[in-house]
Structure 1
Amino acid sequence: MIVSGQNNQGDKYYLKAEKYYNIIEPTSQTDSLALKNYLNAIKDYLRVQKGYPRLVDAFFKSGTLYQSINDQRKAINSYLQSIKHSQKVKNSPDSGLFKNYLYAGNAYYILSNFDSAKYYFDQAEKISLNTRNISSLDRLYNSLGALYYESGNYLQSENYFEKAISIINSQKSIDKDALVYLSNNLASAFRKLGHYNKALKLYKDLLPYEIGLASLKQNIGHTYLRMGKNDSALMYLSQVRSEIDPVSRIRLFNDFANAYFNKKEYQQAGLYFNRALKENITFFGLGKNVDRSSTHLGKSSIQEQQGNYRKALEELQLAIINLTLSFEDKNIYTNPPVANNAISVLELYHTLIRKAAVFRKLGSETKEFKDLEMALKTYQLALGLADYIRKSYDSDEAKLFFGNDLHEIFEQAINTAFDLYDRDKSNFYLETAFTLSEMSKGAVLYESIRNLEIKNVPGVPTHLIEQEKRIKQKITLLMLKLSESQDTKNGLDLRNQIRDFEIELGRVQKQFEKNETYYHLKYNSNTVSRKDLQSYLKNANTAAISYFMGSTELFTFFLSPDGFSASRQPIDNAFIKDLYSFKNELYELPAGSKYNGYAPSFRLFQKLVYPFIRSISSYKKLLIIPDGELNYIPFEALNSTPKFDKFILHDYAIAYAYSFSFLGIKSLKTNNTQDRILAMAPFTDRSINSNIGFLYLPASGEEIKDINGDRYYGKDAQKKLFLKIASNYNIIHLATHAKTDVNDPLNAFISFYPYSQNKQSDFKLFTSEIYNMRLNNLKLVILSACETGNGKLVNGEGIMSLARAFAYAGCPNIISTLWNANDESSSKISILLHKYLKEGYSAEEALRKAKLTYLNDPEIESRFRTPNYWANFIFVGEIQESSNDNLLTYVSLFFMTLLLIVILYWGVRKKKVQFKAQLKQGTVII
């Protein structure tokens, strides 16, 4: 019950308004009368200048009525006035503020002012977390889901939509209208994630409700459009009735136009784009909006297809103008500043990419330098915007999903930079290409590792760090339970719990960004200058080769302490064939079969390394930054000559890195005398139960027996012990079984002693669990198990492997395996590795010497000397100076000095003898 405002005239207006407002089936006339009387009541209440509950309520309800006629700005003003006056009312309930914040956020969302929408939704969410039994929670979660949807974070939007649906389903009387509306939104999130069949099923399952049929059929048509099924799209779009709201009608015309465009019926497409534009102007006037931008984007596509690149760019410029609030320049050679307020950052990013691509086509046609340069500048602006978008996401999964499509854009930008170099011969463009290549790699992993460091900055609340850790642990535990659950109902409950914790985790991670130092460090660029890189290489006495593998061309960048060069060469079928032939010989060669990888290996060497052979000849260490399928290739196994027994391994110690950005990210100097080493070999017991799928590894015990540290064998090498003590060590060696999963990297695991056959999570250490460990003290982890460096390849991030999980957890140096390891050869190489580490060699040099010693061992049969037996071990991390290297240097200097003295001595003595002889002969000339 609303308490009286104690103002007779105002109350009369208010009560009359309530009568019209609460009609079960309102009309536009009754809504108009309700609004008129609320406004009169407000006017009368304000005259008294007191805080009345009815004044607060009148402002709120007038706001809802303004929204019903799509006057969002007046609605916002009403909600803000309601919030302002509620503060004057004693004991005013937070539930009233909650709805005002929520509805104000919705109004800003409709106006595409997403920053303001986010602020008010966040305020509403704060109240909801501190208030019990609050209504409209489903609407809040749906609104937050829509906001994540607009930003491109479709994974998190899916969580929020599902949460809203669960609230509706938990009510005694289910609101079918709300259920259909929310499910429609969820299906749209599926569509954006590329799960088209899943989206179509959900859309079509909602049709029998006969609620919102126009929206459902339009979304079905749009989904078929995204699938390239244009006739099916047109069939459903044609069923949408014309009496839909103006915004839906604009989008419908755009969809029709795009369907006809895909069918190459450009005249018909143009007619529909013009209808969309006319409808937009009728409804929005000259106001900017995303849908008008989409229409201009579509019109540009028609011009582009017809070869009218300048006209296409003019339409694209109009699309950009309609996406930015304070940018009006129609000159196609100008771009909006990054700081400009974008109506939709995501749409602006996509439009800039299109503009860059068309400028590239124009440059190829006109041969004008300025056209290509504009293409490059626009790519750079778009990729900077993409970096901003990605960093705004609150989960690595969302960042990886967004980043997966960026690789193609980086390829186009790098190609453009090389095109400019070909015309101008300025190294500036090669360095630009190099910077773009580095920007494309390992951004998510780099950011995650930095987060471990920067959360220690002053001012970041420790309770947030603990809360984040707790939530991540709960998510991991629930995921493990879900993987073992056979009960459908229990599985659904576990998924719901995971969803709720992922939403909570997103909230906590937003709190970190309130610390200014943390925010600055988190969003600081991960690119490093060439000068700094060359300084690093000089200190490490190393040369480096970085690759970017495009769809049709391979870009290679060479760096040494005093040199830089870059090249572009086509990727032909022969190269791809050699790449896969070599990989198959290493990864899939059956036991006892002859190794035939020498020839493709040598051809790959000629393409990948030989162009820089003179430049790297004076170095003994080589840093490789791979890309794409090259991540699966051990470069040390490439044949450097046609001879079968000569590999790169013979000349260089090789280290790999995700990108140059990772170099120097932590202090990595080692002091071997103080290192604590943990070694575990769980499968040394002959009585191991083979029914669980893991065999006895007789050589695994041998490979750790001489390690000077804490060693655990068989039943003592348990997962729970490892999780408890791992963070106390500097070096970890695991000689065990492991399994990768190229479809779902989170299902990959390392196995410990299987004391429980029923509960696999008791002995399998899954990737998700490693991610949540804190291994900042670790200097080196050695994963002597099958495929620990293998997994799903993700563009720009490399291989999603167990090794990467250890890097994510804070370990800077990792020795892992790319394919199934042979037990005996792995054992021998591991034993030698620790021997050389103990002697003071750096990890990459110790691994090299271990492999060379293995190859030179006369007791090793020739059939076990092929690369498939020894090249699976690779080192990823920092190239370091060996303490042994220093000793060798001093010894070498001593003997060189001694040799020089001897040479000088004998040279002087010989000259004296000659001088005396010449004196006797009288032939000395003075």
Structure 2
Amino acid sequence: MIRGNSMQFGSFKSILFILLFSISSFSQNLEDQIYNAIDIFVANPNSTTLNELNQKEFVFSKSVATTDEKLALVILYCNKGSFEMKTNLQQKAIDSYEKAWLLFSNNHLSNYDIIEFCLKPLGTLYTKTGNFTLAENIIKKYIFMAEKDNNQPNIISGYINLSIVYKTIGNHKTAIDLLQKVAKNQNASSLQKKRIQEELAVNTMGLQNLNSQEKITFKEFGTNAIQELKNKAWIALQNNNPDVALTYFEKAKTQFLKEKNIDARTLAKLYTEEASIYISLNDLQKAKNSFTKAYATLLPFNKIHTHLDTNILYSENTFLIIFDGLAYLEEDAQKKLKWYDLSFYVSDLIRDQLISQEAEIRHQIENRKRTEKCIDILWNAYQDKKEFRFLEQAFQYAEKTKNTVLKDRNHQKTLVEQFPNNPDLQLQNELVNKQELLINEYIRLQITQENQARLISLNNELATLSIQLKNLNRKINTTFKNKTETTTLQDLQKKLNEDQAQLLYYFWGKEKAYSFYSNNGEVIWKKITFKQNQETTLKKFIASFEEANTINSNVASFTTTAHSLYDILGLEQIEPQKNLVIIPDGLLHFVAFDALVTQKTNSKTYTTIPFLVYQNKIAYQSNATFYSKNVVSHKNNSIVGFFPVFKNTNAYLEYSIEESKVLEQNNATLFLNEAANRENFKKYCHQYGIIHLSTHGTSGSFSTPATLVFYDDVMLVNELYGLHDCHPDLVVLSACETGIGKLQKGEGAISIARAFQYAGAKNVLFSLWKINDFSTSEIMRHFYSNYNKQHSFFESNYASKLSYLEDEAISNAKKSPYYWSAFVYYGAIDSSETTYIYYYVLGFLLLIVLFLSYGRIARFLKRKEI
């Protein structure tokens, strides 16, 4: 029996009449109740009947047992979702469609067009709300289903909708490839052909705009009249003809408003497009009116509010365009910030629905741009009034959009530690790890182009798991409301005092950068403008480490560059001989600050060049929150080392054996040669406090992730993300480029080192370029020799570099910064055990003195009494 969606196909009464003779009386009664509830709602859909349907649905969901009852409930969910989608209750619509899909899929139901009435609108909603990973998963899912059934209309619709996802995230090339592929399908309906041509036109314009500085040229694709007029309007804007653009746009708007059943989101986007044209015409009041209309259009049930109330906002991308636009039009600085804060609020609502790193990272790119604008506003206010509150607020904006994905995962793990018996937190951790492992398997299969059937199966698993995880996240966020952790400058100063340290914190924007320098209770805020020569200096310094001979071939040029960058980055203000914490951003993630030069010099002898390493001990951190929370207590000093060596291959690491001997002296458990395989690493890594990996690493590329190489196989970053119960005190990555990866705004490099941070490593020591085998073994020898004495990661990293530079057996050429400055330590400033003992002894002696003093005072008082 085939059932349609009652919102589209009317009453179920005739079908129910037939069913009366074929089902039991109990099932008949419950199924009949469900369909009657649907009929009542469909006859008069409004907020009141929706509320009544929700109450009935809650009862039904607790009682359904048979296949027919469950199918009836699926249809109820789809009808409810259809109404919620049309009335801008987008999150509720998503919930309804997700319930329908999970119930349908988990119970292997059939005889219902689940693609048409559930998966298509669900994919559309995911796209509209910015959840592009889920949109991609669900659309691919129903494409696979349609291909299995050879359902050509749904296959074509799937490709069109998938192209819209890629178009929305700016991947116009992939969108065009999909559209051109499906355009050849002779089964496409006239309406589908029309959609294909419209999307081809929009994507072609988008691609031209991305790849060329030339003005966009219009190309006919047989689009509809409205789209053609809008295209001509945008081309006129590109050609600096806003008056012509407005003429075309008003014609398109007039035709558009004549259409029936215009959904609110499409209408709101029309108003935002209109506002952009008025901005080009410098008619700011009309632009503001258009943005205001767009906002009112998006309110559920057309509620008109005289003031902005965050309680009525929901996860909708168009709100971001509106609020950012109103911020742009506002002249008052504080009002500008309030508009941007509304954008951040909606952005957080959207982020709460995202369940993959890729989606979250992509989402925060726009937040970073918004953050830069807010900091610019506060910088100008600070220059005018010199009030500390502007500085503090700017710092909070910078920290809010730094490493949001890493911070979210760290927060999840912290909650599990605080509430180990909470089943929701345990399940969340399990699902996150499982998701990463499924993604890892999916990527590996895509790379090898093997087992297409498993790819389809994986997509289905990911789609189902993603929905389950998203709903669980929402429940946990409601239970544990204090999700966002904030670190104030006062908190930082307290931690810095404990560490006897100073802090240099960077925010790297598109057009300028800012630094916050904190020391001895004082905070200095500076702006770094991007002059052409300054940006060139930064890139030149980073490029110096790409080849071993670059620095040696022209030492004078390198020291000049290194000192210039030292000045540009504001390091002249730091206090010498005091611990320095650096929180980098943007390209600064790839800078070895140890190798910066503090003074001009003509020396070519590396031991006499004034490198920063001689002046300050440096620890790095990803963000201020991690730094303030990373408190070293008792360490697990057990060490495990993995040394594949790769003997008799082109990848042979000759000095890795010497490196292993150093660990052996520290009673480490070693896995050498064949034993240093992927499975042994996964099996034993969680049992030790220090994990040492002496191997090869790759930074990945635009299309492939970073990898760590074991004797038998490689491990992608995604598999590292999914490591279960792996939270060592330190991970030492004695391998090439383990800190290098695709640079993502706000999140940093998507590297092997970051993967270990995500998995739970408290501190990480890693490399920034292709390291030399010999010098690495020497650096590691000195590191562990010092650690054996002091038991301090921070001190040992610093001492290893000085010991290397002071080694007279090493030639001057091999003392180039290329050989010793590659390793950076992201972690706590941990005091050595000798320091702890010193304090214990001092405290014990103090107690003895107090005790003896107390005795003398007591005897003195007693004599006085006599």
**Pairwise TM-score range, normalised by the shorter structure:** 0.7 to 0.9
Task: Pick from 377, 380, 386 the counterpart of residue 425 of structure 1.
Answer: 386
- 1:55 is displaced (CA, Å) by 8.1
Task: Pick from 120, 123, 147 the counterpart of residue 96 of structure 2.
Answer: 120
Residues 764 and 200 (structure 1), Cα distance of their counterparts in 2 relative to 1, 3 Å cut? closer
1:509 match? 469
Question: In the aligned structure 2, how far is the partner of 1:463 from the partner of 1:887?
Answer: 42
Task: Pick from 191, 195, 198 the counterpart of residue 218 of structure 1.
Answer: 198
Q: Which runs of 5+ in 1 are unaligned?
A: 3-17, 23-27, 42-49, 243-248, 364-370, 755-761, 895-926
Q: Deviations over 1:522-541 (max 9, x none)?
A: 86113211111111111111
- 1:668 is displaced (CA, Å) by 2.7
Aligned pairs for 1:35-50 (under 5 A) are: none
Cα contact 1:464–1:508 (8 A) shared by 2: no
The 10-residue stretch of structure 1 (202-211 or 191-200) with the greater mean CA deviation from structure 2 = 202-211
The 10-residue stretch of structure 1 (154-163 or 470-479) with the greater mean CA deviation from structure 2 = 470-479
What amino acid does structure 1 have at the position aligned with 2:109?
Answer: N
Aligned pairs for 1:452-491 (under 5 A) are: 452-456=413-417, 457=419, 458-461=421-424, 462=426, 465-466=429-430, 469-470=433-434, 472-485=436-449, 487=450, 490=451
Question: In the aligned structure 1, how far is the partner of 2:231 from the partner of 2:344?
Answer: 27
1:497 match? 457
1:839 match? 789
Cα contact 1:544–1:624 (8 A) shared by 2: yes
Task: Pick from 352, 355, 376 the counterpart of residue 391 of structure 1.
Answer: 352
Residues 861 and 106 (structure 1), Cα distance of their counterparts in 2 relative to 1, 3 Å cut? same
Residues 404 and 220 (structure 1), Cα distance of their counterparts in 2 relative to 1, 3 Å cut? same
Question: In the aligned structure 1, how far is the partner of 2:817 from the partner of 2:490?
Answer: 36
Task: Pick from 625, 637, 640 the counterpart of residue 675 of structure 1.
Answer: 637
- 1:253 is displaced (CA, Å) by 5.9
1:179 match? 155
1:291 match? 266
- 1:101 is displaced (CA, Å) by 1.2
Question: In the aligned structure 1, how far is the partner of 2:549 from the partner of 2:771?
Answer: 13
Cα contact 1:220–1:233 (8 A) shared by 2: no
Residues 218 and 107 (structure 1), Cα distance of their counterparts in 2 relative to 1, 3 Å cut? farther
Task: Pick from 191, 206, 212 the counterpart of residue 167 of structure 2.
Answer: 191
Question: In the aligned structure 1, how far is the partner of 2:152 from the partner of 2:290?
Answer: 42
The 10-residue stretch of structure 1 (432-441 or 624-633) with the greater mean CA deviation from structure 2 = 432-441
Cα contact 1:300–1:312 (8 A) shared by 2: yes
2:847 match? none
Cα contact 2:765–2:823 (8 A) shared by 1: yes
Q: What SS class does the counterpart of residue 352 from structure 2 fall into? A: helix
Q: Deviations over 1:780-805 (max 9, x none)?
A: 11111111111111110111111111
Question: In the aligned structure 1, how far is the partner of 2:770 from the partner of 2:756?
Answer: 19
Q: What SS class does the counterpart of residue 859 from structure 1 fall into? A: coil
2:283 match? 308
What amino acid does structure 1 have at the position aligned with 2:199?
Answer: N
- 1:51 is displaced (CA, Å) by 5.5
Question: In the aligned structure 2, how far is the partner of 1:720 from the partner of 1:53?
Answer: 51
Q: What SS class does the counterpart of residue 123 from structure 1 fall into? A: helix
- 1:465 is displaced (CA, Å) by 4.6
Residues 384 and 74 (structure 1), Cα distance of their counterparts in 2 relative to 1, 3 Å cut? closer
Q: Deviations over 1:753-802 (max 9, x none)?
A: x3xxxxxxx43232222111135441011111111111111110111111
Q: Deviations over 1:107-129 (max 9, x none)?
A: 32133221221232133123213
2:600 match? 642
Q: Deviations over 1:348-381 (max 9, x none)?
A: 012212222333xxx4xxxxxxx22222222233
2:855 match? none
Q: Deviations over 1:247-283 (max 9, x none)?
A: xx6x776555444433434334323443455456656
Cα contact 2:71–2:109 (8 A) shared by 1: no
Aligned pairs for 1:500-579 (under 5 A) are: 500-513=460-473, 515-516=475-476, 519-521=478-480, 524-579=483-538
- 1:403 is displaced (CA, Å) by 1.6
Cα contact 2:726–2:761 (8 A) shared by 1: yes
- 1:297 is displaced (CA, Å) by 1.7
- 1:562 is displaced (CA, Å) by 1.0
Cα contact 2:440–2:716 (8 A) shared by 1: no
Aligned pairs for 1:129-278 (under 5 A) are: 129-134=105-110, 135-139=112-116, 140-171=118-149, 174-207=150-183, 208-211=186-189, 212=191, 213-228=193-208, 235-236=220-221, 239-240=223-224, 254=230, 257-275=233-251, 277-278=253-254
Residue 812 (structure 1) aligned with residue 762 (structure 2): yes
Q: What SS class does the counterpart of residue 551 from structure 1 fall into? A: coil
2:297 match? 322
**Whose relative contact order is higher, 1 or 2, with alpha carbons under 8 Å and at least 6 apart?**
2
- 1:705 is displaced (CA, Å) by 3.8
Residues 75 and 661 (structure 1), Cα distance of their counterparts in 2 relative to 1, 3 Å cut? same
- 1:384 is displaced (CA, Å) by 3.2
Question: In the aligned structure 2, how far is the partner of 1:888 from the partner of 1:459?
Answer: 41
Which one has a bigger Cα radius of gyration? 1
Task: Pick from 625, 631, 636 the counterpart of residue 583 of structure 2.
Answer: 625
Aligned pairs for 1:637-786 (under 5 A) are: 637-643=595-601, 644=603, 645-665=609-629, 667-671=631-635, 675-683=637-645, 688-690=647-649, 697=656, 699-744=658-703, 746=705, 748-752=706-710, 754=711, 762-786=712-736
- 1:514 is displaced (CA, Å) by 5.8
Residue 402 (structure 1) aligned with residue 352 (structure 2): no
Residues 183 and 111 (structure 1), Cα distance of their counterparts in 2 relative to 1, 3 Å cut? farther
Aligned pairs for 1:814-833 (under 5 A) are: 814-833=764-783
Q: What SS class does the counterpart of residue 405 from structure 1 fall into? A: helix
Q: What SS class does the counterpart of residue 116 from structure 1 fall into? A: helix
Residues 164 and 693 (structure 1), Cα distance of their counterparts in 2 relative to 1, 3 Å cut? farther
Question: In the aligned structure 1, how far is the partner of 2:198 from the partner of 2:351?
Answer: 29
- 1:830 is displaced (CA, Å) by 0.9
What amino acid does structure 1 have at the position aligned with 2:266?
Answer: D
Cα contact 1:63–1:74 (8 A) shared by 2: no
Residue 448 (structure 1) aligned with residue 406 (structure 2): no
The TM-score, its normalising length taken from structure 2, stands at 0.84
Cα contact 1:468–1:505 (8 A) shared by 2: no
Question: In the aligned structure 2, how far is the partner of 1:123 from the partner of 1:89?
Answer: 14
Cα contact 2:432–2:722 (8 A) shared by 1: no
Residues 474 and 51 (structure 1), Cα distance of their counterparts in 2 relative to 1, 3 Å cut? closer
Residues 290 and 273 (structure 1), Cα distance of their counterparts in 2 relative to 1, 3 Å cut? farther
Question: In the aligned structure 1, how far is the partner of 2:632 from the partner of 2:669?
Answer: 22
- 1:104 is displaced (CA, Å) by 2.2
What amino acid does structure 2 have at the position aligned with 1:538?
Answer: N
Question: In the aligned structure 1, how far is the partner of 2:642 from the partner of 2:469?
Answer: 35
- 1:220 is displaced (CA, Å) by 2.2
Residues 258 and 500 (structure 1), Cα distance of their counterparts in 2 relative to 1, 3 Å cut? same
1:102 match? 78
Residues 313 and 463 (structure 1), Cα distance of their counterparts in 2 relative to 1, 3 Å cut? closer
Question: In the aligned structure 2, how far is the partner of 1:700 from the partner of 1:567?
Answer: 43
Q: What SS class does the counterpart of residue 680 from structure 1 fall into? A: strand
Cα-Cα RMSD: 3.7
Q: Deviations over 1:315-346 (max 9, x none)?
A: 3233333333477467xxx7x2322234x621
Aligned pairs for 1:857-872 (under 5 A) are: 857-872=807-822
Task: Pick from 549, 555, 558 the counterpart of residue 590 of structure 1.
Answer: 549
Q: What SS class does the counterpart of residue 783 from structure 1 fall into? A: strand
Q: What SS class does the counterpart of residue 670 from structure 2 fall into? A: strand
The TM-score, its normalising length taken from structure 1, stands at 0.79
Question: In the aligned structure 2, how far is the partner of 1:89 from the partner of 1:607?
Answer: 68
The 10-residue stretch of structure 1 (821-830 or 120-129) with the greater mean CA deviation from structure 2 = 120-129
Question: In the aligned structure 2, how far is the partner of 1:219 from the partner of 1:204?
Answer: 10
- 1:725 is displaced (CA, Å) by 1.1
Aligned pairs for 1:337-348 (under 5 A) are: 337-342=309-314, 345-348=316-319
- 1:225 is displaced (CA, Å) by 3.7
Question: In the aligned structure 2, how far is the partner of 1:226 from the partner of 1:301?
Answer: 17
